[in-house]
Structure 1
Amino acid sequence: MASDLIFYTNPMSRGRIIRWMLEEVGEPYETVILEWGNAGQFEDYRKINPMAKIPAIVHAGRVVTEAAAICAYLAEAFPKAGLAPTAEERADYYRWLFFTAGPAEAAMVNNTLGWHVPPDMQRMVGYGSYDRMVDVLEQAVSARPYICGDRFTAADVYVGSQIGWGTGVGSLPRREAFAAYVGRVTSRPAWKRAQEIDGPIPGAG
């Protein structure tokens, strides 16, 4: 019988974020591994995501793309996992989930590519400057144990993944606050199961 929840990924992609989220959710799912360089496979995948970007999920026939959106969707679709925000957590949950998916990721990618915003044009980009983004992100993870307070949520899956990846490959500086936060969120059994499935990240560490 076909699974009600299908996960399209490659271990060397942002799909690792969703692997972790799925392991946190604890519902059965089918995995489809997309191999880099397999043009035919990706052509078929365009029926799922016309951008041909990984990851994506199909749940009950509905497609969800974009890793932050998938995390938020899964938290709401499977409330028994307790990963969706409470009313008190909601503002911080959406604020930092979308800050990390938008300004923070854009700043990290642009910095890695060697592109820096001229000071007189910083108002044109969502993150202003790379250094400002890093400082704001550091403050966010320093304020409380988790991004919304004292409780782990789906936002921590996404924010923790981005900071863990960024500090591992050098797109974020290795600050003490980042290391402490990543250490907390990656101590979870679901994160460890996800790593066992996808394997280590070459070059990270």
Structure 2
Amino acid sequence: MSSDLKFYTNPMSRGRIVRWMLEEVGVPYETIVVEYGDAMKAPDFLRINPMGKVPAIRHKSSIVTECAAICAYLADIFPNAGLAPPIDRRAAYYRWFFFAAGPVEAATMNKTLGVVPADEQRRMVGYDRLETVLDTLETAVKDTPYLAGSDFSAVDVYAGSQIGWGLQFGTLEKRQAFIDYWDRLSSRPAKVRADELDDALVPN
């Protein structure tokens, strides 16, 4: 394995998103599994991510954390993979990356935690309410085959993973547009390989 790209993860984490992205990129990387508990809070790992969580990557001398940032970074640093649109056609790409990392993440997590903003708080939380987020996301995945247009890109890895997990664990309504979109993504060879690699790391 190349020492230029190190992937810090745990198979029971959002690291699965980054694993999928790495498999789409198709370059050699070294996997470093970080166990929950003391290992994630140890000084050596806190130098990688002071938050004490995975995933993270080290590419040469650069460290990147946060799933969306890692996916975007990998798409840019390995352009031959074709996972980012040309710079003059990135409006939708950026829009849905930040929408997924912001309103979608916040609204679905709040639902999981049982947090429902009162009507007078809706303007303060940034996403209005979960239904508004889902309606907006539904429009995005209905309008084009992929979020950035006609071609699959890194934003589909990130936002698509959230949709896939939401459908699996019940944090998203099972709207037909979400199901159809996830069906387009979940059978990709890189996604299948990524799942096999992570599943093999899950303790029995």
Normalising by structure 2, we get a TM-score of 0.94
Alignment correspondent of 1:52: 52
Alignment correspondent of 1:35: 35
Aligned pairs for 1:1-205 (under 5 A) are 3-37=3-37, 39-40=38-39, 42-43=41-42, 44-199=44-199
Task: Tell me the distance in 2 between the aligned counterparts of 1:97 and 1:87.
Answer: 15
Gaps of 5+ in 1: none
CA offsets per residue over residues 171-205 of structure 1, 9 Å max, x none?
A: 111111101001101221100100110129x9xxx
Which contiguous aligned blocks of 4+ residues in structure 1 show a shift greater than 6 angstroms?
A: none
CA offsets per residue over residues 47-103 of structure 1, 9 Å max, x none?
A: 100001210000011100010000000000000000012245300000001100111
Shift, 1:41, TM fit: 5.0
Alignment check: 8 A CA contact 2:2 2:28 kept: no
Alignment check: 8 A CA contact 2:2 2:29 kept: no
Task: Tell me the distance in 2 between the aligned counterparts of 1:170 and 1:133.
Answer: 15
- How many residue pairs end up in the alignment? 200
Task: Tell me the distance in 2 between the aligned counterparts of 1:189 and 1:40.
Answer: 32
- The structure-2 alpha-carbon separation of the partners of 1:143 and 1:40, relative to structure 1 and needing over 3 Å to count, comes to closer
Shift, 1:2, TM fit: 6.0
Q: Secondary structure at the match of 2:93?
A: helix
Alignment check: 8 A CA contact 2:5 2:58 kept: yes
Determine what percentage of the aligned residue pairs are the same residue. 57
Gaps of 5+ in 2: none
Task: Tell me the distance in 2 between the aligned counterparts of 1:85 and 1:132.
Answer: 27
1:21 aligned partner, one-letter code = M
Larger % of helix: which? 2
Q: Secondary structure at the match of 2:121?
A: helix
Task: Tell me the distance in 2 between the aligned counterparts of 1:125 and 1:188.
Answer: 35
Q: Secondary structure at the match of 1:31?
A: strand
Normalising by structure 1, we get a TM-score of 0.94
Instruction: Report the RMSD for the aligned CA atoms in angstroms.
Output: 1.5
